[in-house]
Structure formats: structure tokens, C-alpha cells
A and B are shown apart, each in its own frame.
Chain A
Amino acid sequence: MHLTQGQFSFLPDLTDAEIKKQIEYALAQDWAVAIEFTDDPHPRNTYWSMWGTPMFDLKDPAGILMEVKACRAAQGDKYVKVLAFDSHRGFESLRMSFLVNRPKNEPGFELLRSEGPGRKVQYALRSYATGKPAGSRYG
């Protein structure tokens, strides 16, 4: 199952040249770009691991793309996303977030039903991948 999340989720995966252009846009807006990765694809998982600190000091997309590639090389079988944080007053939050890497096999999600009192059914989504311990979830 092809996981879609964040910006451009209805498009095919971005190429490096396209990623570079997006980063260029973020930098032009004076946003700080960061890279994060995770092996838990649940949409409500907001606790991704940071790949280094946000790159407040970089002014050119080439340097950030180098980090994206380094993160992919080290965390190739995980989801990697690029974020852009807007520190301007009034926003002070993320303005961009898109996936730049995904594992080869994405097992998808299981729908869990639990029946409560009065035949009330509660639904939950669970990734098949998270059934296995961290570190051995993909491949």
C-alpha cells in the first residue's frame, strides 16, 4: 500500500530535482527546513525522529539535499519527510511537510474492530508494520 501523507500526497513521489525546488521555495520564504524519519506510518504518529537539528543556518537547497541523501542512505527502509517551519509571528508552525523516502515494502493497515457494551463497535487503524519490533519492521 502506497502511503500518502502531507503535501503532494496525490502526486507521484518527488524527484530530487523537484525536492530541491520545494526546498528552494521554503528557503526563499525564510522558513527553516528540517528532516525527520520514522518507521511507524500511522497518520496520527506525530513523534518522528529528527535527522539532526533544523537547518536554520543553511541558505541554499544543495546543502539540505545533501542531508536528505545522507538520511536516506542511513534510514533507507524508513519514511523520511522534509519539513519547513515558519517562525514569523502569527504562524510559528509548520508550513510544509512532504515525504521524500519510503520503505520498499509497505504492508498497509489493518482495520481493528472491538465490540463494546450494547454492540457498540469501535474502530482502530493499525499498521501491519508496527506488529514487529522497531528496527525489523520493513524488509
Chain B
Amino acid sequence: MTALAAVADERVDLQALYAESSIGETLDQLDRELVGLVPVKTRIREIAALLLVERARRSVGLEAEPPPLHMSFTGNPGTGKTTVARRMAEILHRLGYIRRNHVVSVTRDDLVGQYIGHTAPKTKDVLKKAMGGVLFIDEAYYLYRPENERDYGQEAIEILLQVMEDNRDDLVVILAGYKDRMDTFFKSNPGMASRIAHHIDFPDYAADELFRIAELMVATMNYRFDAEAMMALRDYIVRRMEQPRFANARSIRNALDRARLRQANRLFAERGQLLDRTALQTITAADIRASRVFSP
């Protein structure tokens, strides 16, 4: 009775727990470094709150099974699925849900073998390597090939399911891929769909979000745009979005890489004069406007 009363009296300071886990810092960093992605960030905040409350509950003796946190990230190419998966490991690690801050990133090739009896050890090796952290399976739908009934992918899926169930507190599995194909994948593997608690959809970026992403990217590469280049880039993004094979942030990264190439070529062509720091740093409008996107 007295013990019960003592437990009832105990107060938990969520704010203190929050500060102690330094999770706020990670979430802020997420806000700063990832542009847009509002639904994703909301879900991450919800998960963080859940884990924090779970920790508070445990501290007063309210034990419960740890919540399963296997996730599926769906979205078009270049919407930040891999980046968020890496952040997820950090967040879950800070909240004490996983033991170490590591992500093992794999695709079908790393899990599925080439002959009978090859798949199980291969999948298990990957799973063992990922233990204690996050296993990120990119383009997970390739694991399941309905057109070939002898495909070994099914075997990998079964082992995966078993470990997801048995080693729930050792491993977080994140599946990622394009929305429509993931939907078919889950439809044909109901066991997988039911073991994944969080389905997070990554929306496409709007033009101004892409522009902010570009700004962040050049800043990390120690480049800068001059004022005209910024105009040109805005122009570029709008045009590029209408073209086929547009891959959101990845297209922007590629465009910047090509702009760097042109900048280097321009500087090289004008060699003979001394370059200062600004010249080496600046990407001008000409570097961007030379893109094939602007050719009629």
C-alpha cells in the first residue's frame, strides 16, 4: 500500500527528460536542414513524443512492451527518404529506443542470394550487422517478384518478418520506395504491411522549397550565388520541374554539380588573371543559364 502511494506521488518532469535527451536539438536541426516535408516532420515529432512519454512511464514503473517502430517511407525520387532515415537513427538513439546510432542501408542485392540456400545466410548477415540500429531497405518492392514464383526474394521477406517480430527491441526496419509500387508490395505481402506501424508519405517539393534546398546545398559546398544567379536558378527550377525525369532535390543537386563544372571551366578559360576568394566561390547567372533546360 505504501509502495503504491509512493508511486502515485512520484512526479515526472517531461521537460527535464526532454532537455536531457537533447532531442530538441536534433528536431531543430531537422527543421533547419530539411526544407518542407511537413507531414514527415509532424510524424517524427509524434514519434519523439511517444518515446519520451514511454520513458517517463517506465521511470514510474508503468512497464509496457516497447512500441514497434518499423516504418515505411514512400515518395518520389529525391524527396529525402534516405536523409530522413539517417536522421531517424539519430533521433531514436537519443531517445534510447535503439542502442547505437547506425544505419545499414541495403537493397535487394544485399539480401537476396543467387542460388538455393544462399539467401538465408545473406539476409541474416545483413540483419546481424544492423542489430541495435536501423536497417534501411531502399526500393523494397524489388524483394517481391510475383512474375517469378521461384524468386528467392520471398525467402528474404520471410526471414525479415521473423526478425522484425522476434527482435523488436534490437532493430528498426525502414522500407522505402515509390508510392504506387510500395502499395502493390504491401498488398501482396499483408504480413509486412501489418508489422509496419508508421507509413510516412513524402510529398513532392514546391518550387520555392527547391530553391531553399539549393541555397542550403551551395552553402555546404562553400559556394555562393550572385544576385543574377539566384534569379536564373529560380527560372531554372520552374523549367526543370516541367521536364521529364524530374527527381526533386536530386535534380537540383545534379544541376548544381553541373553549374560547378561550368564555373570551373569559365575560370579556367579566363586563366592568366589572378583569382580572389570571391571569384572562386561565386556561381554566376551564366553558369546556370548555359543549361540545356534553357535551350528552346
- Tell me which of B124, B129, B131 has the highest count of chain A C-beta atoms within 10 A of its own C-beta: B131
Interface residues of A (CB under 8 A from B): 55, 57-64, 66-67
Report B74 CB to chain A, min CB distance, Å. Answer: 28
Interface of chain A, helix or strand or loop or mixed? Answer: helix
Docked CA distance A127–B36 (Å) = 70
Interface membership of B132, Cβ < 8 A = yes
9 closest pairs, A vs B, by CB?
Answer: A60-B132, A63-B128, A63-B131, A62-B131, A62-B170, A60-B131, A58-B128, A62-B132, A57-B129
Contacting residues, chain B, for A62 (C-beta < 8 A): 128, 131-132, 167, 170-171
Report A68 CB to chain B, min CB distance, Å. Answer: 11
Q: Is the CB of B133 within 8 A of A63?
A: no
- Tell me which of B99, B132, B167 has the highest count of chain A C-beta atoms within 10 A of its own C-beta: B132
Docked CA distance A18–B150 (Å) = 42
Interface membership of B102, Cβ < 8 A = yes
Q: Is the CB of A60 within 8 A of B133?
A: yes
Q: Return 11 A-B CB contacts under 8 Å, by A number.
A: A58-B129, A58-B131, A59-B102, A59-B129, A59-B133, A60-B99, A60-B100, A62-B128, A62-B167, A66-B124, A67-B128
Contacting residues, chain A, for B102 (C-beta < 8 A): 59
Docked CA distance A21–B132 (Å) = 14
Known interface pairs A63-B128, A66-B128, A67-B128; 16 further A-B residue pairs with C-beta atoms within 8 A, sorted by A's residue number: A57-B129, A59-B100, A59-B102, A59-B129, A59-B132, A59-B133, A60-B131, A61-B131, A62-B131, A62-B167, A62-B170, A63-B127, A63-B129, A63-B130, A63-B131, A64-B128
